[in-house]
Amino acid sequence: MDKSEKIALFLGVCMLSLFFFAVLISAKVFKQDVPECITPDQIFTEGELVEIEPGKLYQLKYLSKMWAFEPAEVTIPVGSDVDIYLASQDVVHGFYLRGTNVNMMAVPGALNKKSMHFSKPGIYPIYCHEYCGTGHQFMKGKIIVTP
C-alpha cells in the first residue's frame, strides 16, 4: 500500500467512527434507541389503552391483525409518556407512527416495545409498512394527542 492509499483508508475509518459515535450518542444519551427486547410468557390477544397515571403515563397495547390495528384510534393528552407494546395475531405487520421514531415490526410469537413522549398535539397516523396480505394497503390507525 502506498502513502495516499493509507491516508484514504485512515480518513474513511475516521468518517465511519464519527458517524457511529453520533448514532451512539443519539441512542444512549438522547434515548432514541431501537425497540426493546422483552421476553413475555404469553402475549395479549386484545389491544387496549391502559391508563397508569392519568394525563402522564399510559400503556398502549396494539394488536395488529389482517388488516387493522386494535385499537384503531386512541386519544391521549399532550405531554404523555406512552409505552407502546406491539403484538401480531396472525402474520408479520409493520407499525410506523408517521413523523416520529416509532417504527416497529409486529412479529407473531414475539412482543415489541417502544416508548414515546408526545410533546406536540396533533393527529399521528399509523401505517402498516410490511406486506401482510391482500388488504395491506388499508391497514392503518391513529393516535390523537389533545392539547
> Which residue of 59, 70, 77, 142 would you call a contact of another protein, by CB under 8 A?
59
> Which residue of 29, 54, 119, 134 would you call a contact of another protein, by CB under 8 A?
134
Rg of the Cα atoms in the chain: 19
* Residue 57 contacts another protein per CB under 8 A: yes
Give me the 25-54 binding string for another protein, x by CB under 8 A, dash otherwise.
Answer: -xx----xxxxxxxxxxxxxxx---x-x--
Min dist. Cβ of residue 133 to another protein (A): 4
Min dist. Cβ of residue 58 to another protein (A): 9
Which segments within the chain are labelled E, that is strand?
Answer: 36-37, 48-53, 57-65, 68-70, 73-77, 81-88, 93-97, 103-106, 112-117, 122-127, 140-146
